[in-house]
Structure 1
Amino acid sequence: MKKLLILSTALGALSLPAVAQEVNIMGWGGSYTTSQIEAYHKPFAEKTGIKVVSIDSDNPATPIKAQVEAGNVTFDVASVEFADAVRFCDEGLLETIDPAILTPAPDGTAAIDDFLPGTVTECFVATDVFATVIAFNGKAYDGKEAPATMADFFDLTKFPGKRGSRKNAKTLLEMALIGDGVPTADVYAILATPEGVERAFAKLDTIKSEMIWWEAGAQPPQLLADGEVAMTVAYNGRIFNANVSENQDFRIIWDGQVYDVEGWVVPKGAPNLQNAMDFISFSTGTEPLAKAAEWISYGPPRKSSAPLVGMYQDGKTEMAPNLPTSPENLTNALFSNLEFWADRDTDLNERFNAWLLK
């Protein structure tokens, strides 16, 4: 009787339907997640049969530490900023990602050699590049010479008018040195010295009287639209959205852009680890990354993706000129140095705040 019961139970187990394969992806929501659903989630599900569950969060990094430390991880992949990825990796909160799993470029180049330098680490694979840039209203320069370089932002004689910037030392100090003629390759070495810091603040002194400070990314396009500033530091995605959604004629000065990356991480203890790795391998391939850039003006971090990027979803806007990673926009670009700011953020912002009060 006992043997019969065991056999019956086993047969019953065999007759149960198989558990559906899935992978749970936590993203930022809005147009950012839309770009990932169209470029990554749908094609991956179609190719593999694995269900992709998309979860929105104000900041996908926030639940990682709490869930990993509680031993109750409910998602498999998260889209996070580079700084959070490095910090969580150092704290042992993330799974390591073997770069060998990443899809080679179409010409066979290994993925690690196809990604922009520094955008793949032990626990992180970049999906997009965004930039802090200088922007101006094209209508204000009809029939006149328009600004074109970082130096022009600091030239009140040739290009008079108010200047806008985020009220923070990060990025603005780098831009000050670039505007003062420092090659992008030397910016952080110089800014790491007392003399370099003095030089950056001396450059900021030349425009301090004309500065209007902002704190939220939505403010720079509004400052330009209202004519309150002649030029402003801004996020490239905000400027692009104002142009395509509000029919503005804002122009970006790509010279001296400071770019940063976001990308995938896998929390330690992810419930569907293999599916997570398969998803990362697929979604960071050349073609999916190019496809995502047709939905949002963040550039693909792989060199082989750039030539494949087509039109925006409006069917009339070429995306390439609007991406930080287009070769012509990278000619004098600076990759924001995470380690530099991790060591000096407090000191330099204290100095910056004191400078504001002078």
Structure 2
Amino acid sequence: MRHDSSRPSRGFSNLPLITLLAALMPAVAAQGAPDMVVVGYGGDGQKAQDEAFFKPFVAEDGKPLIQSEYNGEMARIRVMADTGHVDWDLVQIEGPDLVRGCESGMFERLDWQRMGGSERLIEDAAQECGSAALVWGVALAYDADRLKAAPTSWADFWDLEKFPGKRGLRKRAVYNLEFALLADGVPVTDVYKVLASPGGVDRAFAKLDQIKPQIQWWEAGAQPTQWLAAGDVVMTSSYTGRVAAAHQAGRNLDLVLPGSLYGMDYWAIIKGSRHAQQAERLIAFANRKAPQLEYIRRIPYGPTNRDAAAALDAEQARWIPVTPDALAASLPMDVEFWVDHGEELEECFNAWAVR
């Protein structure tokens, strides 16, 4: 489900295709399963999808489906698409993998007209080869019991005089460069324009320099809320779902949603699927308002349907950066930017972090 750094790394393998074929062919020996196979990331997220989407879809559509789970092995999907031995049909993947896979012909192009149109979905949810399955968010989090005054922006996160103490940030360039520019006064709408402009990246790193001695770097998604609970940091970036879960468990943690960064996991149909039209019907079903509200009731990830986002109650809305008000002040991750520049910027970040 969520875009969580505690999950295994995903991406294309560097192994030659013939090596991949030899290693993976036993898994793709049959030409498709008799029923549609839907593959997700497992865990509580997929359990919620089963109850909110899969079971009611099967009851309505009349055709069964088989569920499976994986850790995002794009090499396996590549073998299926390249050989035509397609054992899976519909898979949940991350944004950059969707873009690369679509460009390389691994996924079917979606027929949005047949699926009822894309107008009901939030910005960036409808793609040529994918439809957003859920929205994850990364926001400023803090322990409301430990701070006398609540922070309201990334500028407050950078204010060491007003809010002394350690800050938690993910040990990656992604997220941090965006947050640094927001703290430096760049409007949400201009963040990626500035990052792509001459001097934009240097500006972000210069802003990070201002708080570098006070940064405690997190690598696993569970760490930010643990550090807040222990008092190790006064504020931290964190996945919104983690903070919501900690709050539900009794910790008085809270979020600053204005200036949060949000992204999406997507449904994609593997090229050559024998159940492509059934998969499109499932995507269309999952994009409806009612199933999405049922999903959110079971797990605090964001809806992709505009009407579902508008229908969240106050308690749900405080954790999810896709309500109409939150969307106006939140930053959608520019997947194309990170596909094009991610490797270079992560190398720059690693060099900066050890200086």
Give the TM-score of the pair, scaled to structure 1. 0.86
Specify every segment of 5 or more residues in structure 2 that has no aligned partner in the other structure, as ranges: 1-32
Measured in 1, the distance between the counterparts of 2:290 and 2:74 equals 26
**1:190-236 deviation line (CA, Å, top 9, x unaligned):** 11123222221121111111010111111111111111100111111
1:309–1:320 CA contact under 8 A, matched in 2: yes
1:26–1:57 CA contact under 8 A, matched in 2: yes
1:291–1:309 CA contact under 8 A, matched in 2: no
Aligned partner of 2:259 in structure 1 is 256
Question: Residue type matched to 2:97 in 1?
Answer: D
Runs of 4+ in 1 over 4 A off after TM superposition: none
Instruction: Find out whether 1:185 has 2:189 as its counterpart.
Output: yes
Of the structure 1 ranges 289-298 and 220-229, higher mean CA displacement relative to structure 2 is found in 289-298
Structure 2 counterpart SS, 1:350: helix
Instruction: Find out whether 1:203 has 2:216 as its counterpart.
Output: no
**1:117-166 deviation line (CA, Å, top 9, x unaligned):** 2221111011211111111111102xx21111111111101111100111
1:177–1:199 CA contact under 8 A, matched in 2: yes
Of the structure 1 ranges 340-349 and 86-95, higher mean CA displacement relative to structure 2 is found in 340-349
2:121–2:287 CA contact under 8 A, matched in 1: no
Aligned partner of 1:318 in structure 2 is 315
Deviation at 1:60, TM superposition (A): 6.1
Question: Residue type matched to 2:268 in 1?
Answer: V
Structure 1 counterpart SS, 2:258: strand
Equivalent positions of 1:132-147 (< 5 A) are 132-141=138-147, 144-147=148-151
1:343 to 315, 334, 340: 340
Aligned partner of 2:296 in structure 1 is 293
1:60–1:80 CA contact under 8 A, matched in 2: no
Deviation at 1:21, TM superposition (A): 7.7
Equivalent positions of 1:100-111 (< 5 A) are 100-103=113-116, 111=117
Aligned partner of 1:8 in structure 2 is none
Aligned partner of 1:306 in structure 2 is 309
1:74–1:271 CA contact under 8 A, matched in 2: no
Give the TM-score of the pair, scaled to structure 2. 0.86
Aligned partner of 2:101 in structure 1 is 88
Question: Residue type matched to 1:207 in 2?
Answer: I
Deviation at 1:286, TM superposition (A): 2.3
Specify every segment of 5 or more residues in structure 1 that has no aligned partner in the other structure, as ranges: 1-19, 104-110, 311-316
CA RMSD of aligned residues (A): 1.8
Deviation at 1:290, TM superposition (A): 2.4
Aligned partner of 1:76 in structure 2 is 89
Measured in 1, the distance between the counterparts of 2:317 and 2:73 equals 28
Measured in 1, the distance between the counterparts of 2:82 and 2:246 equals 41
1:24–1:52 CA contact under 8 A, matched in 2: yes
Structure 2 counterpart SS, 1:46: helix
**1:171-194 deviation line (CA, Å, top 9, x unaligned):** 101100001110011111111123
Aligned partner of 1:276 in structure 2 is 279
Larger Rg: 1
**1:56-101 deviation line (CA, Å, top 9, x unaligned):** 2122645311222232111211111111111111111111111112
Aligned partner of 2:120 in structure 1 is 114
Structure 2 counterpart SS, 1:168: coil
Structure 1 counterpart SS, 2:231: coil
